[in-house]
Amino acid sequence: MIDFCVCRDEYTGDLMELIRLFESRTNESLSLDVNYFTEGGVFKVEISSDKFDGFKKHYAFPISYDGALERKRVEKRYLKVAIYRTLGFLTGVDLPYGCLTGIRPTKLFCEIEASPAKYGGRSAREVFGEDYGVSPAKVELIERTVRVQAPYRNIKGEYDVFVFIPFCPTRCAYCSFVSLPLNKQQKLVAPYVECLERELAQLGKTIRAKDLPIRSVYVGGGTPTSIGVDNLARVLDLLDFGAQEFTVEAGRPDTIDKAMVDMLLSKGVTRVSVNPQSFCDRTLQILGRQHRVSDIYGAYALVKGKMDVNMDLIAMLPGESFEDFKRSVDTAVMLSPENITVHTLYLKKGSALKLENYGGGDFDTASRMVDYAYKKLTDSGYQPYYMYRQKYTSGNLENVGYAKQGKACLYNIDIMEEDTSILAAGANAISKKWESDRNLITRCANYKEPLEYVKHIDMMLARQAEFWKN
């Protein structure tokens, strides 16, 4: 338990995230008092603790920012560095990502590479290790990801289209996304698809009127294939924008049959997800996924060779040992899809596991699992091409997408690196306008809950039209 007190409130939420990470790794009980101020062109941080009599640490950082927004970002980072070093000393704990609690380490890595002068001419690799305390293994992962994704980055200012379909056969125990189980919410499918058709018709008009070049279309969820061939076909018919990549998440293997695959191919879909999560029947049952491992093989046989395939796996699922996870990774590699994405379990509000107070497991096992996945995949011809971190993740670890040579998913890179404008439709969808010259993203969000989306569709159509007017 760390009793944390800071002189001002402006960064408390972010700093608490770091404190929580230490709390998850130590049984120490101590207090930490943080005071910060600017003096003589220097940002100063003083930290005291009751762990030792008269314990006080002083830190001084150069002021290297322009504008209020940049100031907040940099001050917050300095505070995290100071707190990380102090707590590291007091507890003896090293965190794999050091003081980085943000979810996009690759983005920060690229920012440092773009302006080395701000960091005393040091490389991003050095700054990550020396200042932020990121472990050598994670620096290697981040740097490798940045290098692999470089040739896929959106340098021509093209656009993406995202469509959200919030239905699933059942709700998985770990899931905190907007997703309605079809056994209870079937009646909402028809009105939802109608509203989506209206929104996509308007979005198509915008794209054609402005002649926007679309590089990727991504239909995600939820499980888009769970709404059936006819409903999904109506949606896909409105997404013919000549994109070089067209993904549909067919995440649940029990929603894929030959008719579905034929329809996806006829609409020009180039990439699907068939997500095992685990190749262990016992785990699938605990998760409430209502399908068996044999269904994964069946679904995969239907799509393999016809479209690029991604498989999602999760480390630290309830009841799983290192050996169970290893078998899942080995099986996915043996099946040889174009992409394999390895997540580490995170437990957020809204998931059944969180409600049941599932603890998420220990750091060492989580670490062994993700390290094994990295080694096995990179030894087997896969490269990490995008990564992100979530709050409340077992062991404070990461989610990494791996791809075979030439097979990275553009949309996944665009969404993580935040350098692409996205026209988004459906409940929970957030359209984004990216202005590279001002390094600015503006957003227009639809209602999150599907029922609200259906109720307020006219208002959202008007808002989207206004958002994309210029």
Ligand X SMILES: C[S@@+](CC[C@H](N)C(=O)[O-])C[C@H]1O[C@@H](n2cnc3c(N)ncnc32)[C@H](O)[C@@H]1O
Tokens of 45: 């941080």
In whole angstroms, what is the distance from residue 363 CA to residue 22 CA? Answer: 12
What phi and psi, each to the nearest 5 degrees, are found at residue 142?
-65, -50
Q: Which stretch binds ligand SF4 (CB under 6 A): 63-71, 169-177, 330-338, 352-360?
A: 169-177
Q: Mind spelling out the 3-state secondary structure of the chain?
A: CEEEEECCCCCHHHHHHHHHHHHCCCCCCEEEEEEEEEECCEEEEEEEECCCCCEEEEEEEECCCCHHHHHHHHHHHHHHHHHHHHHHHHHCCCCCECCCCCCCHHHHHHHHHHCHHHHCCCCHHHHHHHCCCECHHHHHHHHHHHHHHHHHCCCCCCEEEEEEECEECCCCCCCCCCCEEHHHHHHHHHHHHHHHHHHHHHHHHHHHHHCCCEEEEEEEECCHHHHCHHHHHHHHCCCCCCCCEEEEECCCHHHCCHHHHHHHHHCCCCEEECCCECCCHHHHHHHCCCCCHHHHHHHHHHHECCEEEEEEEEECCCCCCHHHHHHHHHHHHHHCCCEEEEEECECCCCCHHHHCCCCCCCHHHHHHHHHHHHHHHHHCCEEEEEEECCCCEHHHCCEEEEEECCCCCHHHHHHHHCCCEEEEECCCCEEEEEECCCCEEEEEECCCCHHHHHHCHHHHHHHHHHHCCC
Does 222 engage in binding with ligand SF4 (CB under 6 A)? yes
Task: Compute the least distance from the CB of residue 90 to ligand X, in Å.
Answer: 30
Q: Find which of ligand SF4, ligand X, none residue 343 binds, CB within 5 to 8 Å per kind.
A: ligand X
In whole angstroms, what is the distance from residue 113 CA to residue 118 CA? Answer: 10
Task: Compute the least distance from the CB of residue 345 to ligand X, in Å.
Answer: 4
In the complex, which residues of this chain contact ligand X (CB under 6 A)? 174-175, 177, 221-223, 249, 251-252, 275, 277, 312, 314, 343, 345-346, 351
Q: Find which of ligand X, ligand SF4, none residue 376 binds, CB within 5 to 8 Å per kind.
A: none
Task: Compute the least distance from the CB of residue 392 to ligand X, in Å.
Answer: 8
Q: Find which of ligand X, ligand SF4, none residue 105 binds, CB within 5 to 8 Å per kind.
A: none
Task: Compute the least distance from the CB of residue 400 to ligand SF4, in Å.
Answer: 18
Based on CB atoms, which residue is closest to ligand X, 134 or 284? 284
How many residues bind ligand SF4 (CB under 6 A)? The answer is 11
Of 99, 168, 195, 303, the one binding ligand SF4 by CB under 6 A: 168
Of 98, 224, 251, 337, the one binding ligand SF4 by CB under 6 A: 251
Does 179 engage in binding with ligand SF4 (CB under 6 A)? yes
Does 291 engage in binding with ligand SF4 (CB under 6 A)? no
Does 177 engage in binding with ligand SF4 (CB under 6 A)? yes
Based on CB atoms, which residue is closest to ligand X, 98 or 251? 251
Based on CB atoms, which residue is closest to ligand SF4, 168 or 460? 168
Q: Find which of ligand X, ligand SF4, none residue 61 binds, CB within 5 to 8 Å per kind.
A: none
- The letter for the amino acid at 235 is V
Q: Find which of ligand X, ligand SF4, none residue 104 binds, CB within 5 to 8 Å per kind.
A: none
Based on CB atoms, which residue is closest to ligand SF4, 101 or 176? 176
Of 223, 231, 278, 339, the one binding ligand SF4 by CB under 6 A: 223
Task: Compute the least distance from the CB of residue 108 to ligand X, in Å.
Answer: 22
Task: Compute the least distance from the CB of residue 366 to ligand SF4, in Å.
Answer: 19
Task: Compute the least distance from the CB of residue 101 to ligand X, in Å.
Answer: 17
Q: Find which of ligand SF4, ligand X, none residue 80 binds, CB within 5 to 8 Å per kind.
A: none
Q: Find which of ligand SF4, ligand X, none residue 171 binds, CB within 5 to 8 Å per kind.
A: ligand SF4
Which residue is associated with the tokens 């491992």?
A: 293
Based on CB atoms, which residue is closest to ligand X, 212 or 286? 286
Does 311 engage in binding with ligand SF4 (CB under 6 A)? no
Tokens of 228: 């059936």
By the criterion CB under 6 A, which residues form the site for ligand SF4?
A: 168, 171-172, 175, 177, 179, 221-223, 251-252
